[in-house]
Structure 1
């Protein structure tokens, strides 16, 4: 049995070295929030099934080949002959500013069906379902697939993690809030940055963090995890709250840090670790991500987790 089931759109990622209009070379890889989490979890030793969709093209083959090489279970992945694999371009403009350009309208990922998710659950119920707020933004079909996944998880007693992961380029905040609030009663672990949390909290909630967290806990969400960027992270439960500062590393590339954080938190959750250990692992995996280039390439293995506790500049032999 897989520990985790996740699904969403994974695209080809092209990374430029400067302004795209000036030309130059591009590095090619893959990127997608859910597959980033899947890779992060498999590197930490957890079996994960990814049930996304790609086109019947060379780009789709690269996505599948990369995920397969990272040990992700693709038994429920879908190849759609009628739509292409999505594309995203990363354009660095300043040392700490990268623009992202999406080419994903009409992609295979935007046509993922509820039937594909039903097949994934029929094969074997996971211990945990991981969803993000990106998938329902892709169109009616993936939103229906996510809705179906939530209900199947409830019927099977599978715990659910939702990472709000709001993308303003994909949908309006009012629509996103409507969907996130409708999902909240099905969620066990909610993860959001502090500016995303209002999308999941009831519309009547106040502007203060505590006013947003309490009604979410009252809905039955067991843990509300708030990412604070350089400020670390905080987890809220019915019995209290806990904060962990971010680990200090040299920032190379912030892209993918949130997904790495989620992978670390869920890994410790699946290990039945206590809340302090969950946050510790999450901020550690997040630090590995920002200290490395790429969406997922810097994700640590379990054996590498202690490396950030070494003295700066130490060579480990």
Structure 2
């Protein structure tokens, strides 16, 4: 079995995007896409030159086949995706109030992915990963998924596989109290932690990026990178700390997926030997590119696009 740079596990759903802005009750139609934090990272890292595998479970239905086919076409290995006739593929709808405000409605209860469990984990496949990327969405799907996440991160640590964790809070799936405890307990076992400010507040009660990073570094996490949206990110990695500025964009088309783009670029850059400050800068650039494009993963850049965008921004700054 060939070695993989990154393996990730989680749910991807069919995304129904409205044809126009406004409350969904006034939207006449939708167009079909797909979205999932883990598959977004998988596609993003693949476009940036990494070999990536995505593990999941989809329904034995047209939506499940659509998702698997699409992710395979992006170059991601989907050999470990299970199709089941016992539960359907999840669906979610976007609602665009205006250019800057998007709401999401999920129809994922008892979905195929929520039925995943520790017993299904392909350990021989996972052993070939350099890095395992996990998010806080998966443990919120069901009790079996929650237990699977704890078992998986414990196993990966024992095997010496790097673990990255993006808390990716979804409070529509579980209570704030449970989310805070579970995400905290998973986060402190990660090698690379990628929280935002709201997630830091939830997990450790801090809203300052320096304090969030310091808290988790003291808990034993080697690398903490706190996402700051348009302002960039603050990192505290292996004893080095700094804030890296974000890239300004003229128009935000769709902000969903920016954090996944950031994670994909940071993780792929780290595995490719970039310094942490460079990796974070590339993450900021990838996030900026994604918010200028409609869809969860469509705007994820390849290496050429990312380098060109960063070079152009540097040139623009010099000319100002």
Q: TM-score, normalised by structure 2?
A: 0.92
Matches of 1:186 and 1:196, distance apart in 2: 16
RMSD: 1.9
Corresponding position of 1:89: 93
Q: 2:140 aligns with which of 104, 113, 137?
A: 137
Q: Quote the residue 2:9 is aligned against.
A: 7
In the other structure, the counterpart of 2:116 is 112
1:41 is matched with which residue: 45, 53, 78? 45
C-alpha distance in 2 between matches for 1:293 and 1:208: 31
Asked whether the equivalents of residues 256 and 296 of structure 2 are also in contact (C-alpha less than 8 Å), the reply is yes
Partner in structure 2 of residue 304 of structure 1:
305
Q: Structure 2: which 5+ runs fail to align?
A: none
Q: Distance in 2 between matches of 1:292 and 1:224?
A: 28
The one of 31, 53, 56 equivalent to 2:60 is 56
Matches within 5 A, 1:1-317: 1-16=3-18, 17-18=20-21, 19-117=23-121, 119-122=122-125, 124-201=127-204, 208-237=208-237, 239-249=239-249, 250-308=251-309, 309-310=311-312
SS in 2 for 1:296: coil
Q: Is the 8 A contact 2:127 2:159 kept in 1?
A: no
Aligned mates of 2:269, 2:207 — CA distance in 1? 31
Aligned equivalents of 1:227, 1:217: Cα separation in 2: 16
- Does the Cα contact within 8 Å between 2:269 and 2:279 map onto a contact in 1? yes
Provide, for residues 152-198 of structure 1, a one-character-per-residue CA deviation record: whole Å limited to 9, x for no partner: 20121001100011112112221111112222332111101112113
Preserved CA contact (<8 Å) 2:99 2:252: no
SS at match of 1:195: helix
CA contact (8 A) 1:217 1:238 kept: no
Cα 1:43–1:209 shift into 2, 3 Å: closer
1:199, distance to aligned residue in structure 2 (A): 3.2
Deviations 1:231-250 (A, max 9, x none): 11110135241111111223
Asked if the contact 1:31–1:295 (Cα under 8 Å) also holds between the matched residues in 2, the reply is yes
d(CA) in 2 for partners of 1:264, 1:209: 20
Q: Quickly say closer, same or farther: Cα 1:42–1:207, change in 2 above 3 A.
A: closer
1:224-263 deviations in Å (ceiling 9; x for gaps):
1111111111101352411111112232111100100000
Does the CA contact (< 8 Å) of 2:171 and 2:179 recur in 1?
A: no
Question: TM-score, normalized by length of structure 1?
Answer: 0.93
Give 3-state SS (helix, strand or coil) of 1:127's partner.
strand
Distance across 2 between alignment mates of 1:206 and 1:7: 28
- Compared with structure 1, are the counterparts of its residues 82 and 291 closer, same or farther at alpha carbon in structure 2 (3 Å cutoff)? same
Q: Matched residues in 2 for 1:154 and 1:230: separation?
A: 33
Tell me, yes or no, if the aligned pair for 2:230 and 2:246 is still in contact at 8 Å. yes
Give, in whole Å, the separation in 1 of the partners of 2:89 and 2:195: 28
1:114 positional shift: 1.0
Residues 1:47 and 1:122: Cα distance change in structure 2 (over 3 Å): closer
Aligned residue-pair number: 310
